[in-house]
């Protein structure tokens, strides 16, 4: 128990990836994306160059649908931490709700049979925008912000969507340029 308490104090004071030897603690390991956190700590998100174990807020109003719905309060590093994947959707078109529901059902069913390899649970962060509210540069900026959050900050291994070819091309070209 004392060892666990020491770990928590070090973690809180110095961050994930820090180590203590002979009473001296090193700085945490830096990250560029959530991929770095997943590789080094098995999960987490990269915020301001450091790995955190809590879901950071996404682009304003864009990311609000989670599977399971406890993802915003789930620790992202450590035992039982989920592997997060992403979804990008149009929020105001008829075909989006059934597809969003289908992806959530898939995540639920994967978790119901024990999760993914090694029993790790799967989690999904869904983000979107209204088709009628955004166009042109504003729409591209929203897609870029969602890609940066999902692929960059969270380091998801894949994103389901977007559902239109035009939005997909914007997302893919942006991803290729960023090399997340």
Say what the pLDDT of residue 16 is.
Answer: 57
- Cα radius of gyration rounded to whole Å, the chain: 18
18, pLDDT greater than 60: no
pTM above 0.85, yes or no: no
- Determine the Cα–Cα distance for residues 1 and 168; give it in Å rounded to an integer: 49
What's the pLDDT tens digit per position in 47-92?
Answer: 999 999 999 999 988 998 999 999 999 999 988 999 999 999 988 8
Residue count of the chain, please give it. 180
What's the pLDDT tens digit per position in 35-47?
Answer: 999 999 999 999 9
Q: Please, what is the angle between helix 136-147 and helix 165-178, to 10°?
A: 50
Say what the pLDDT of residue 81 is.
Answer: 94
Question: Which backbone phi and psi does 129 adopt, to 5 degrees?
Answer: -155, 160
Give the CA-trace dihedral at 30, 11, 47, 65, to 10 degrees: 140
């Amino acid at each position: 128990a004392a060892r666990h308490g020491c770990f928590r104090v070090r973690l809180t004071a110095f961050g994930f990836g820090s180590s203590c030897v002979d009473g001296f603690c090193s700085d945490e390991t830096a990250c560029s994306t959530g991929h770095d956190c997943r590789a080094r700590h098995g999960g987490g998100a990269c915020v301001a160059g450091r790995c955190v174990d809590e879901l950071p807020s996404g682009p304003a109003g864009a990311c609000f649908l989670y599977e399971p719905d406890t993802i915003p309060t789930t620790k992202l590093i450590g035992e039982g931490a989920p592997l997060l994947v992403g979804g990008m959707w149009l929020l105001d078109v008829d075909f989006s709700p059934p597809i969003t529901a289908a992806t959530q059902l898939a995540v639920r069913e994967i978790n119901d049979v024990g999760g993914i390899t090694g029993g790790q649970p799967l989690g999904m962060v869904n983000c979107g925008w209204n088709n009628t509210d955004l166009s042109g540069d504003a729409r591209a900026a929203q897609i870029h912000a969602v890609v940066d959050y999902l692929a960059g900050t969270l380091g998801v291994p894949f994103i389901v969507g977007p559902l239109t070819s035009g939005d997909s091309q914007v997302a893919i070209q942006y991803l290729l340029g960023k090399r997340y």
